[in-house]
Amino acid sequence: MSTILTHMSFKFLKSNQIKLYKRENSKYWQMKIKLPKQQAVRSSTGFKTLKDAEQIAIKNYSFLKKKNNIVIRRNPNNIYKKIHLVESADLNKKDIEFILDEAKKFISFNKKKIKKNNLLEGRTVFNLFFEDSTRTRTSFEVAAKRLSADLINVAVKDSSINKGETLLDTMTTINSMNPDVLVIRHPEEGISKRISESVDACVINAGDGSHEHPTQALLDALTIKNKFKKFTKLQIAICGDILHSRVARSNIIILSKLGAKINVIAPKEWLPKNINTLPVTLYTDMKKGLNNCDVVMMLRIQKERINKKIMPNQKKYFTKYGLDYKKLEYANKNAFVMHPGPMNRGVEIDSKLADDVTRSLIQEQVAMGVAIRMACLEILIKNKDDTLKF
Ligand code: NCD
């Protein structure tokens, strides 16, 4: 029952956990929702009549209860507070370790017979891939669907971009549909960051030109962690087309932050000019560069970013830089081989070695990709929820 005070009316609902109140000089009913062990949330209901306000309050009460008790669990160790994941440079060591830890629970979950929970029920994720992709796009799709989010694959090839609409206009249009996450792959460097500055949704960079691909580096880190437990004392070689590879850049940043020592091995012309600003040791020779390495990460030649005229002869390239059993012997005994895919067999990696599950972690990387993307979706959406006052 509402009690009339001289300056304010109020009413309690649901065992005193919802309080509705209206000040004398205000038209609208306010609500205060206080769940056990949670901070109270105060907000206007936006309604003038008590009946409407009650409905809104009950709806928000159920949402908060679900959010706190069932759907999103608060993790007191959550240190990554950002709502976007666009650059590895934005992650510190603790953030990275936290994301890897959060992904751990999804590794066993993904091996269950029924691979579905309701963690992101009612949430909407858009896949916007302006470049070819199979594994990254499907990996995000599988991740979102296993958490019960609705996933929309935008057929970019058929999009209004082809009618002259700017990318930012397309993003603003999609943003108006209230998505929770936009997963973006695009040939332009820095585009995910720019989009993240103009939309409300969380943005994940799934590859921007030769710049960054943070979830790939996180899944690589998780794959390595599963094998070696620690990164300190690990020596990792990243080999091939470093200049055009966003995977190389993100891995150098993330693996070195975790404490690994990175050797970069590439033909001189494929070493970026600013490579000396990154914490790596440079080699142009596989024998020297692989010495003492525990992990050898091979990269695809990024044909789509290289002028055909300066493409190396594939056979010659394989002889010098392609990884086979013989070159792998330069690394530590039992060293593991990685590749983000898609592979060009016989160009950067020997086909038999790539398929040798005693040495190659390539299939394991794909499995870890789903777990990492589930963790990233969960963390970013949870962070976004924490910023909302509703
Ligand atoms: C990489 C990419 O797209 O940058 N692939 C991937 O995400 N799995 C590497 C590549 O295309 O060579």
Pocket test for ligand 1, best of 213, 252, 305 (most atoms within 8 A of CB): 213
246 lines ligand 1 (CB under 6 A): yes
Query: Do residues 296 and 290 make contact, with C-beta atoms less than 8 angstroms apart?
Result: yes
pLDDT: which is higher, 259 or 74? 259
For residue 38, report the distance from its CA to the centre of ligand 1, in Å: 42
**pLDDT over 90 at 235, yes or no:** yes
Report pLDDT for 203: 97
Ligand 1 atom with the smallest distance to the CA of 185 is 3
pLDDT: which is higher, 32 or 339? 339
For residue 347, report the distance from its CA to the centre of ligand 1, in Å: 16
**pLDDT over 90 at 355, yes or no:** yes
Mean pLDDT taken over the chain: 90
Query: Do residues 238 and 252 make contact, with C-beta atoms less than 8 angstroms apart?
Result: yes
340 lines ligand 1 (CB under 6 A): yes
CATH number of 3-71: 3.30.160
pLDDT-derived band at 211 (thresholds 50, 70, 90) equals very high
Residue 345 CA to residue 241 CA, distance in Å, equals 15
- Beta-bridge mates of residue 43: 31
Mean pLDDT to the nearest integer, 162-189: 89
Residue 29 CA to residue 85 CA, distance in Å, equals 38
Q: Is 198 exposed, middle or buried (0-12, 13-18, 19+ CB in 10 A)?
A: exposed
Q: Where are the domains of the chain?
A: 3-71, 88-213+368-381, 215-361
Which residue has the CA at smallest separation from atom 7 of ligand 1? 136
Ligand 1 atom with the smallest distance to the CA of 216 is 7
216 lines ligand 1 (CB under 6 A): yes
Query: Do residues 59 and 86 make contact, with C-beta atoms less than 8 angstroms apart?
Result: no
213 lines ligand 1 (CB under 6 A): yes
At 241-258, the pLDDT tens digits run: 999 999 999 999 999 999
How would DSSP label each residue in 143-184?
Answer: HHHHTT-EEEEE-GGGSGGGGT--HHHHHHHHHTT--SEEEE
For residue 206, report the distance from its CA to the centre of ligand 1, in Å: 9
For residue 362, report the distance from its CA to the centre of ligand 1, in Å: 13
Ligand 1 atom with the smallest distance to the CA of 245 is 4
Query: Do residues 324 and 351 make contact, with C-beta atoms less than 8 angstroms apart?
Result: no
341 lines ligand 1 (CB under 6 A): yes
**pLDDT over 60 at 1, yes or no:** no
136 lines ligand 1 (CB under 6 A): yes
pLDDT-derived band at 215 (thresholds 50, 70, 90) equals very high
Report pLDDT for 42: 84
Token pair recorded at residue 50: 């008590």
**pLDDT over 80 at 38, yes or no:** no
Share of the chain above pLDDT 70, in %: 92
Say if domain 215-361 classifies as CATH 3.10.150.10.
no
At 47-102, the pLDDT tens digits run: 888 888 888 888 888 877 766 553 444 556 677 889 999 999 999 999 999 999 99
For residue 342, report the distance from its CA to the centre of ligand 1, in Å: 7
Pocket test for ligand 1, best of 223, 247, 250 (most atoms within 8 A of CB): 247
Report pLDDT for 15: 60
135 lines ligand 1 (CB under 6 A): yes
- The structure's pTM equals 0.82
127 lines ligand 1 (CB under 6 A): no
**pLDDT over 70 at 158, yes or no:** no
How would DSSP label each residue in 319-364?
Answer: HHH-B-HHHHTTS-TT-EEE--S---BTTTB-HHHHH-TTTB-HHH
Share of the chain above pLDDT 90, in %: 68
Report pLDDT for 76: 60
At 104-146, the pLDDT tens digits run: 999 999 999 999 999 999 999 999 999 989 999 999 999 999 9
Could you check whether 3-71 and 215-361 share the same CATH topology? no
pLDDT: which is higher, 95 or 162? 95
For residue 374, report the distance from its CA to the centre of ligand 1, in Å: 19
- Residue range 88-213+368-381 forms a domain whose CATH class is alpha beta
**pLDDT over 70 at 6, yes or no:** no
**pLDDT over 70 at 7, yes or no:** no
* Mean pLDDT lowest among 42-46, 167-171, 192-196, 352-356: 42-46
pLDDT: which is higher, 56 or 7? 56
Ligand 1 atom with the smallest distance to the CA of 207 is 4
